[in-house]
Amino acid sequence: MRIVVVGCGRIGAQLANRLFRAGHKVVVIDIVDSAFENLAPDFRGRTIEGDVLAQDMLRRAGIEQAQGLAAMTSSDTLNAVIAHLARTVYHIPNVVARNYDPRWQSVYETFGIQAVAPSEWGAQRIEELLSDASLLTVFSAGNGEVEIYELTVPPGWSGRPLADVAGRSGCVCVALTRAGKAVLPGPDMTVETGDVLHLSATFEGIEALRRQLAQSSQTKEA
């Protein structure tokens, strides 16, 4: 794919490095020449210094032939404008913007722009790890509004209906692995100690499940 990355800060540079190593043709734009020092020594994509909103700058970057664009600057205003232009004027099929300030999330949603908020996602992930390491996040959708968690069924839950384990907390079990074999769980299944559950849930739903786990642990200790 031909991909344009706008902004060569730490995140933009890391993205450009990864895309290049994956075999994509990458063009990086930044208004500050020294920003390109963030790129890895083995990066062999194009770099263009200048204001991305200047006349013909995007065309110089080959946006008309691009299949993807990432707006990765530290300005939500600029990211929103560039992403909107890429989608509506140049009809690029894959457009992603960095959401620098989470308070801007609603603006991206209004314009239908797919945005990722590293600070919001990172803070939520750290909170989860500090709260309970027994529930591991294995996939995050959007900015973490819905995630898939991995839970190993504790001894006190053996024999309980799956609907009781997941349903009461607002989680959806998408897979159950027993003795190394994964299945799509049915509504009448019961869980056994050591089963691995993959649960889709919102943050509120997984917090409810954590409370269930804590109550079970307290009951066992008593």
pLDDT > 90 fraction of the chain, expressed in percent and rounded: 54
Helices (H), 100-177: 105-110, 118-131, 162-166
String of DSSP letters for 163-207: HHHHGGGT-EEEEEEETTEEEPPPTT-B--TT-EEEEEEEHHHHH
Where b means 16+ CB within 10 Å and e means fewer, 168-192 reads: ebebebeebeeeeeeeebeeebebe
Rounded-to-integer distance, Cα 198 and Cα 182, Å: 10
pLDDT confidence of residue 154 = 86
- Supply angle C-alpha 31, 32, 33, rounded to 5: 120
pTM (2 d.p.) = 0.66
- 47 beta partners: 28
Question: 156 exposed, middle or buried (CB, 10 Å; 0-12, 13-18, 19+)?
Answer: middle
Better-predicted residue by pLDDT, 4 or 180: 4
What is the tens place of the pLDDT at every residue in 78-104?
999 999 999 999 999 999 999 998 888
Give the C-alpha distances (Å, rounded to integers) separating 88 from 69, 83, 85, 164: 13, 9, 5, 47
pLDDT digits (tens, 9 = 90+) for 157-211: 889 898 888 876 778 999 999 988 999 998 789 999 989 999 999 888 888 888 8
Q: What is the pLDDT of residues 132-159, one digit of tens each?
A: 556 788 888 877 788 898 888 888 888 9
Tell me which residue of 90, 52, 91, 50 sits closest to 71, measured CA to CA: 52
Q: Which amino acid is at 123?
A: A
Q: At which residue do the structure tokens 């590293």 appear?
A: 118
**pLDDT mean across residues, the chain:** 88
The DSSP code for 34 is G
Task: Report phi then psi at 120, rounded to 5.
Answer: -65, -50
pLDDT at residue 129 in the model: 62
Domains and CATH numbers, the chain: 2-116 (3.40.50.720), 121-221 (3.30.70.1450)
